[in-house]
Amino acid sequence: IPWNEVALETAREVEKEVMPLFGTSKAGETMGENVSGDVTKYVDKVAEDVVLSRLQPLGVNVVSEEIGFIDNGSDYTVIVDPIDGSYNFAAGIPIFAFSFAVFKGRKPIYGAIYEFATKTFYEALPGEGAYMDGKPVKVGKPERGKEALSFYTRGRCLGLIERVKRVRVLGAIAVELTYLAKGALDGVLDIRNYVRTTDIAAGVLIAREAGAIVTDERGKELELRLDATSKTNVIAVNDRYLLDMILEEL
Ligand code: IPD
Ligand code: CA
Ligand code: CA
């Protein structure tokens, strides 16, 4: 299966269906509760319907943020968030993305994120690298005292704010992980025990391939669970000293 084509074509179709709803109250209407206990907005439903009908003919397993796990008995599992950052989308904040990761058994084989506002397509080819519109990307090298972090903590670890220069919390962790991958952020952490694999799978693959260190809250390499309901903490940084600093503050 040509995963890059499937990912890009699906993203483009989601874009076509959802963009007319950008910044509208219709987009934010509540449709019910999803499998992880979060609300499903109208835009989530529109986007997910596109994804499911695109993937259905492939016969693969799908883990999608709203509907959960669809087991088709395949070796392949696609972990997808049709739209990450749906609050931003409905509120008219242009930071949201399509997130798509493929596993064969438990092994990651492909990851992609499409950022709608900039029409940027990020990819991870495990073992080969991370790409932005086909060109290799690498994490940046932080300068001490000049770091930029995205930081979801719900009151934990606030000492960190004083130890870095910039805090940017953008509301779409898939996008933020691509910013880490391309060197625009030095770290992304969510320690609310709240993110799901659908939020971070592709972003973690892309960030890792770009050279990031991605761990749990103990500093152990983060393992992605292939379901729609487990919640986790994640720390992703471009340098070991930042990881140590974060762990010290936790
Ligand atoms: C959200 C984004 C955001 C995170 C929220 C998630 P959604 O995903 O990933 O960064 O802070 O916890 O719910 O619901 O907009 O797909
Ligand atoms: Ca999400
Ligand atoms: Ca979502």
ipTM > 0.90 for the complex = yes
| Per-residue model confidence (pLDDT) at position 115 | 98
How far apart are the CA of 143 and the centre of ligand 2, in A?
A: 30
| Ligand 1 neighbour 123 (Cβ under 6 A) | no
Q: Are residues 156 and 240 in the same domain?
A: yes
User: Which residues have C-beta within 8 Å of that of residue 225, sequence separation ≥ 6?
Assistant: 197, 232
Contact partners, residue 197, CB within 8 Å, separation at least 6: 63, 79, 224, 225, 226, 227, 228, 230, 232
Please tell me the distance between residue 139's alpha carbon and the centre of ligand 2 in angstroms: 23
pLDDT > 70: what percent of the chain? 100
83 is in an annotated binding site: yes
Residue 65 among known ligand-binding residues: yes
Helices (H), the chain: 3-18, 25-28, 42-55, 86-91, 173-181, 197-209, 240-249
Q: Kindly provide the residue ranges of all beta strands, DSSP E only, lying in 97-146, ordered along the sequence.
A: 97-104, 107-115, 120-125, 129-132, 135-137
Say what the pLDDT of residue 158 is.
Answer: 87
pLDDT at res. 84: 98
Q: Relative to the CA of 172, which ligand 1 atom is closest?
A: 10
Decide: 85 in ligand 1 pocket, CB within 6 A.
yes
Q: What is the CATH number of the domain that holds 179?
A: 3.40.190.80
pLDDT at 17: 98
pLDDT at 114: 98
Query: Is 239 annotated in some ligand binding site?
Result: no
Q: What's the pTM value of the predicted model, to 2 decimals?
A: 0.97
Domain check: are 152 and 177 in the same one?
yes
Q: What is the CATH number of the domain that holds 59?
A: 3.30.540.10
CA distance 31 to 40: 5
Co-location of 10 and 131 in the same domain: yes
- The arithmetic mean of pLDDT across residues 128-135, rounded, is 98
At residue 148, does pLDDT exceed 90? Answer: yes
126 with 163, same domain?
no
Cβ pair 77, 9 in contact under 8 A: no
- Which residues, chain by chain, have CB under 5 Å from ion ligand 2? 81, 84, 199
pLDDT at 113 over 90: yes
Q: How far is the CA of 62 from the centre of ligand 3 (A)?
A: 14
132 and 156 in a single domain? The answer is no
Look up the domain containing 160 and give its range: 148-249
Question: Does one domain contain both 61 and 183?
Answer: no
The mean per-residue pLDDT over the stretch 27-47 comes to: 96
184 CA to centre of ligand 1 in angstroms: 20
Query: Does residue 84 sit in the same domain as residue 126?
Result: yes
The count of domains in the chain is 2
Residue identifier of the C-alpha nearest atom 1 of ligand 1 = 85
Q: Which of 158, 168, 156, 177 is nearest to 81 (CA)?
A: 177
Region 201-205: what's the mean pLDDT?
98
The answer to whether the beta carbons of residues 178 and 118 sit under 8 Å apart is no
Q: pLDDT for 151-189, tens place per residue?
A: 999 888 889 999 999 999 999 999 999 999 999 999 999
Given a cut of 90, is residue 226 above it in pLDDT? yes
C-alpha torsion 223→86→174→124, nearest 10: 100
